[in-house]
């Protein structure tokens, strides 16, 4: 029996189609990884393609490792020659070999988010940027977005004509890139941008990789940005044997720069492309798939596909509504405890990080062990960053940020004043900070600090010698740093539990180094640092621990669980108020795709919940169930709604959700005219008649409508979503404003939309936010 006989007909078609551009539309749980690995095996075994000529790009290190393992099992040989890696890892490998063509040395550093922020602070200081007008985080976000679109500093400035803020960001962008190059460093976005630049300016280099990668495969293609699209287009231009696998219905990373048009317009970008749909799902029950299909078919910007399965129909999806968010969280925690599923087989998914607090509290209350995905990343912890900065200084002597981080860690009596003098000396003489430290005796007015600096340099030079010796191990190097610099001694002297935890974290870093050296054929410090820099938070989930998982919907992408709880299904929360009222309908479609992703994480059981009232920004808000709930097909869902607050009101105003209620459940509650059915409606101060203040229970009366309530035929969304557009605003771009939650900030732009003014503000502490003027209630200061 052939290994390809286990594939379904559409999977086989995707595997056997090897020549020319191919788009594989792989629905959730349709076995796309099997298709990719079998396709690689088919190329090697049946088409006799040299493994050296195959490139496979994934979005996570975990996916790359799994693909390599599966291919190795299928073909038994050659897998080690296949280029399987992430976009960033691929670019690092290429740049390490050819980066000198762009004026960098091959030992360049890769800056993570913290490194970028530190460098940006230096840039702001150099350019004397007013931090009341512009924040480092805002500038970094704008620069990252520009790099995703392959817009360099010069083009950015050209496009900023007449916009003072954009011109200022352009100047910051120029200086930021200048400082990166001076430090022989790149940020993550640069890895893609510089590789594209390398290929465009060096035809011989491009031709080498085109000849090597005659067959290219890209996973999760819906998540690619413009820069990644350009990179792949250049590599595939010669032989055109490009196979991309993805699902437009799971494109949920627009905020990170992902461009759904890459997959929607694939046939236009690659003429003659074939399209194959994988619609058979191997993960979920048919009821779960019917729910997912029912929601996603409301999107217009998609390629039509319908998921189906040979699995059982399964239990109905359960939607349950609660009086408040605490009751919702209490129910979920008890269900996790009592459901009969093991903890590790259950996940709670939510739209915003803020929703985790109540869930965590109730899990603790019921002794439910849980794992919160998206907490502080291991590699972002102070002690880990300190040791990595030592290693980077040893590996790359011109990385100023790493030197600045460790020069006085542990404390050596080398303060900011001393380093200020050294920095000036380095700038005046056009040298790196480390080289200036080596010349400390030549730096004016250092005094006794010069001897302390020389001692530090002596230690680093000693570590460099060891790092270049034949019997060198990274484990020994880390142990040496801990002991010889006094880092371990300083932590032990603190005598705190936290200090012991930090030492344990460093021990875990040592474990990582040992594991790397055992697995790598030619281990090196540079490669180890690359691996560490490229590790993603989601890759670190320990699936062996028996704990329930709490995570945002965005973090859940690519995962699956036997039982899933999708909470906070309320209009104004999911989808967000901004997406509901936005003129750009792609915003609500992105939210709907996110809901589709959440639904399709479930294998056996899916519970969806909402709360009638929820505390938001210190206020109680009344909400109706999400419009996505109303798009669920009645045949696949059991609807468990609250009793109506008032009797005698009419039926549900549309969607599939009005069916399937029984017993105590009734859709009378669904009348859009009632305040608690109007998404995002705030509790109002107590007033004449039946108000909705904190001292009055709006659910107490069952016979009389509140004063001023609308008739049952009120259109969907009701009064809560009526936007009262102002005739004009008393603030504009550049003005300082105040917001009740986010505090003070600077107006970045004001767009005159059809429904309301859309205002973008860079807040001093909360970062950049886009909001509608009528909801934001900004005050000019």
Q: What is the DSSP string of 604-669?
A: EEEEEEEEEEEEETTEEEE-PBPHHHHTS-GGGEEEEPPPPSSSS-----SSGGGSS--TT--GGG
Q: Give the pLDDT confidence score for residue 43 in this predicted structure.
A: 95
Q: Give the pLDDT confidence score for residue 685 in this predicted structure.
A: 38
Q: 136: pLDDT confidence band, cut at 50, 70 and 90?
A: confident
What's the CA angle centered on 386, arms 543 and 126, to 5 degrees? 120
And the tokens for 455?
């001692």
Comparing 678 with 643, the larger pLDDT belongs to 643
- Bond before 575 cis per omega within 30 degrees: yes
Confidence check: pLDDT of 712 > 80: no
- The answer to whether the beta carbons of residues 309 and 289 sit under 8 Å apart is yes
Catalytic annotation, residues = 32-33, 219-220, 250, 601
How many Cβ atoms are within 10 Å of 435's Cβ, its own excluded? Answer: 16
Comparing 700 with 279, the larger pLDDT belongs to 279
- The answer to whether the beta carbons of residues 649 and 546 sit under 8 Å apart is no
Comparing 675 with 262, the larger pLDDT belongs to 262
Confidence check: pLDDT of 501 > 80: no
Confidence check: pLDDT of 152 > 90: yes
Q: Give the pLDDT confidence score for residue 272 in this predicted structure.
A: 95
Confidence check: pLDDT of 495 > 70: no
Confidence check: pLDDT of 70 > 80: yes
Q: 678: pLDDT confidence band, cut at 50, 70 and 90?
A: very low
Arithmetic mean of pLDDT, 354-365: 85
Q: Give the pLDDT confidence score for residue 541 in this predicted structure.
A: 52
Confidence check: pLDDT of 674 > 90: no
Comparing 463 with 520, the larger pLDDT belongs to 463
Confidence check: pLDDT of 779 > 90: no
Question: For 534-586, how does the pLDDT look when each residue is reduced to its tens digit (9 = 90+)?
Answer: 764 445 555 557 999 999 999 998 899 999 999 999 999 999 888 998 888 89
Arithmetic mean of pLDDT, 55-61: 90
The answer to the question of whether 33 is labelled as a binding residue is yes
766 in helix, strand or coil?
coil
The answer to the question of whether 28 is labelled as a binding residue is yes
The answer to the question of whether 26 is labelled as a binding residue is yes
Q: Give the pLDDT confidence score for residue 238 in this predicted structure.
A: 97
Burial class (CB in 10 A: 0-12, 13-18, 19+), 726: exposed
The answer to the question of whether 29 is labelled as a binding residue is yes
Q: 165: pLDDT confidence band, cut at 50, 70 and 90?
A: confident
Q: What share of the chain is helix, strand, coil (3-state, %, to 5)?
A: 50, 15, 35
Q: Give the pLDDT confidence score for residue 645 in this predicted structure.
A: 58
Arithmetic mean of pLDDT, 758-767: 82
Arithmetic mean of pLDDT, 287-300: 97
Q: Give the pLDDT confidence score for residue 478 in this predicted structure.
A: 93
Which stretch, 489-503, 651-665, 752-766, has highest mean pLDDT?
752-766
- Name the nearest CA neighbour of 296 among 556, 610, 595, 555: 595
Q: What is the largest CA-CA distance in the chain?
A: 89
Q: Give the pLDDT confidence score for residue 500 in this predicted structure.
A: 72
Arithmetic mean of pLDDT, 264-289: 97
Q: Which residues of 120-137 are buried (b: 16+ CB within 10 A; e: fewer)?
A: bebbbeeeebeeebbbbb
Confidence check: pLDDT of 78 > 60: yes
Question: Which residue is listed with tokens 């371990």?
Answer: 488
Confidence check: pLDDT of 298 > 70: yes
Arithmetic mean of pLDDT, 246-268: 93
Q: 355: pLDDT confidence band, cut at 50, 70 and 90?
A: confident
The answer to the question of whether 147 is labelled as a binding residue is no
Q: Output DSSP code: residue 130.
A: -
Burial class (CB in 10 A: 0-12, 13-18, 19+), 62: middle
Q: How far apart are the C-alpha atoms of 25 and 74, rounded to whole Å? A: 23
Q: Give the pLDDT confidence score for residue 692 in this predicted structure.
A: 30
Confidence check: pLDDT of 713 > 60: no
Pairing of strands 619-622, 370-372: unpaired
- Bond before 410 cis per omega within 30 degrees: yes
Contacts of 139 (CB under 8 A, 6+ apart): 120, 123, 124, 129, 169, 172, 173, 176
Across all residues in the chain, what is the average pLDDT? 85
Confidence check: pLDDT of 672 > 70: no
Q: Give the pLDDT confidence score for residue 469 in this predicted structure.
A: 87
Question: Which residue is listed with tokens 């231009």?
Answer: 237
- The answer to whether the beta carbons of residues 319 and 549 sit under 8 Å apart is no
Confidence check: pLDDT of 318 > 80: yes
Share of the chain above pLDDT 90, in %: 59
Comparing 358 with 668, the larger pLDDT belongs to 358
And the tokens for 501?
């935890």
Confidence check: pLDDT of 693 > 50: no
Question: For 423-457, how does the pLDDT look when each residue is reduced to its tens digit (9 = 90+)?
Answer: 999 999 999 999 999 999 999 988 889 999 999 99
Arithmetic mean of pLDDT, 492-510: 74
Q: Give the pLDDT confidence score for residue 110 in this predicted structure.
A: 95
Q: Give the pLDDT confidence score for residue 247 in this predicted structure.
A: 95
And the tokens for 175?
């200086």
Secondary structure string (H, E, C) spanning 727-759:
CCCCCCCCCEEEECCCEEEEEEEEEECCCCEEE
Confidence check: pLDDT of 722 > 50: no
- The answer to whether the beta carbons of residues 253 and 272 sit under 8 Å apart is no
Question: For 10-44, how does the pLDDT look when each residue is reduced to its tens digit (9 = 90+)?
Answer: 999 999 999 999 999 999 999 998 999 999 999 99
Question: For 190-228, how does the pLDDT look when each residue is reduced to its tens digit (9 = 90+)?
Answer: 999 999 999 999 999 999 999 999 999 999 999 999 999
355 in helix, strand or coil?
helix
Confidence check: pLDDT of 139 > 80: yes
Arithmetic mean of pLDDT, 662-684: 36
Confidence check: pLDDT of 486 > 50: yes
Confidence check: pLDDT of 696 > 90: no
Pairing of strands 54-58, 215-218: parallel
The answer to the question of whether 30 is labelled as a binding residue is yes
- Give the global pTM: 0.70
Confidence check: pLDDT of 681 > 60: no
């Amino acid at each position: 029996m052939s290994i390809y006989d286990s594939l379904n007909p559409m999977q086989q078609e995707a595997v056997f189609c090897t020549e020319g551009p191919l788009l594989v539309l792989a629905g959730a749980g349709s076995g796309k990884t099997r298709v990719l690995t079998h396709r690689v095996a088919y190329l090697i075994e049946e088409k006799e393609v040299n493994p050296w000529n195959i490139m496979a790009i994934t979005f996570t290190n975990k996916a790359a490792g799994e693909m390599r393992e599966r291919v190795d099992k299928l073909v038994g040989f050659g897998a080690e020659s296949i280029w399987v890696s992430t976009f960033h890892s691929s670019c690092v490998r290429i740049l390490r070999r050819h980066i000198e063509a762009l004026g960098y040395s091959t030992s360049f550093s890769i800056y993570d988010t913290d490194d970028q922020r530190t460098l940006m602070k230096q840039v702001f200081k150099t350019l004397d940027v007013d931090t009341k007008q512009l924040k480092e985080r805002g500038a970094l976000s704008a620069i990252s977005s520009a790099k995703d679109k392959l817009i360099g500093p010069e083009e950015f400035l050209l496009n900023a004509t007449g916009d003072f803020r954009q011109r200022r960001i352009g100047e910051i962008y120029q200086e930021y890139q200048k400082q990166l190059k001076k430090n022989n460093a790149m940020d993550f976005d640069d890895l893609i941008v510089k590789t594209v630049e390398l290929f465009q300016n060096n035809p011989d280099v491009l031709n080498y990789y085109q000849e090597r990668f005659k067959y290219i495969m890209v996973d999760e293609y819906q998540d690619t940005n413009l820069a990644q699209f350009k990179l792949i287009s250049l590599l595939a231009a010669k032989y055109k044997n490009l196979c991309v696998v993805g699902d437009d219905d799971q494109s949920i990373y627009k905020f990170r720069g992902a461009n759904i048009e890459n997959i929607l317009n694939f046939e236009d970008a690659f003429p003659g492309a074939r399209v194959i749909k994988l619609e058979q799902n191997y993960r979920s029950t048919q009821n779960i798939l019917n729910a997912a299909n029912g929601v996603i078919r409301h999107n217009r910007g998609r390629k039509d596909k319908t998921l189906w399965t040979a699995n059982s129909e399964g239990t109905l999806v359960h939607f349950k509504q609660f009086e408040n968010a605490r009751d919702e969280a209490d129910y979920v925690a008890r269900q996790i405890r009592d459901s009969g599923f093991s903890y590790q087989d259950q996940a709670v998914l939510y739209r915003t990080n803020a929703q985790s607090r109540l869930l965590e509290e109730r899990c603790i209350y019921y002794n439910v062990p849980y794992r919160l995905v998206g907490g502080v990343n291991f590699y972002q912890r102070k002690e880990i960053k300190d040791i990595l900065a030592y290693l980077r200084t040893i590996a790359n002597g011109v990385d100023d940020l790493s030197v600045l981080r460790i020069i006085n860690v542990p404390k050596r009596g080398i303060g900011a004043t001393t380093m200020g003098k050294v920095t000036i000396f380095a700038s005046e003489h056009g040298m790196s900070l480390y080289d200036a430290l080596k010349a400390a005796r030549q730096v004016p007015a250092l005094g006794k600090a010069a001897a302390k600096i020389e001692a530090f340099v002596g230690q680093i030079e000693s570590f460099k010698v060891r790092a270049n010796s034949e019997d060198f191990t990274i484990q020994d190097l880390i142990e040496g740093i801990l002991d010889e610099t006094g880092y371990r001694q300083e932590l032990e002297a603190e005598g705190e539990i936290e200090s012991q935890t930090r030492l344990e974290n460093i021990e875990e870093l040592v474990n990582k180094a040992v594991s790397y050296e055992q697995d790598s054929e030619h281990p090196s410090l540079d490669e180890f640092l690359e691996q560490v820099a490229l590790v993603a938070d989601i890759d670190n989930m320990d699936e062996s621990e028996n704990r329930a998982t709490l995570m945002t919907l965005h973090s859940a992408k690519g995962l699956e669980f036997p039982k899933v709880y999708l909470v906070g299904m309320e209009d104004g929360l999911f989808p967000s108020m901004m997406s509901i009222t936005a003129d750009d309908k792609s915003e609500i479609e992105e939210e709907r795709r996110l809901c589709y992703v959440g639904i399709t994480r479930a294998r056996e059981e899916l519970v969806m919940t909402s709360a009638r009232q929820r505390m938001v920004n210190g206020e109680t808000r009344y909400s109706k169930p999400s419009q996505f709930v109303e798009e669920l097909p009645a045949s696949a869902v059991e609807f468990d709604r609250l009793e109506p607050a008032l009797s005698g009101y009419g039926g549900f105003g549309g969607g599939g959700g009005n069916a399937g209620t029984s017993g105590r459940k009734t859709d009378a509650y669904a009348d859009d005219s009632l305040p608690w059915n109007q998404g995002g409606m705030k509790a109002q101060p107590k007033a004449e008649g039946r108000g909705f203040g904190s001292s009055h229970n709006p659910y107490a009366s069952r016979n009389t409508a509140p004063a001023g309530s609308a008739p049952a035929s009120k259109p969907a969304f009701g009064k809560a979503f009526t936007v009262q557009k102002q005739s004009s605003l008393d603030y504009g771009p550049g003005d300082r404003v105040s917001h009740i939650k986010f505090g003070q900030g600077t107006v970045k732009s004001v767009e005159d939309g059809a429904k309301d003014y859309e205002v973008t503000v860079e807040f001093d502490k909360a970062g950049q936010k886009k909001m509608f003027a009528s909801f934001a209630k900004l005050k000019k200061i």
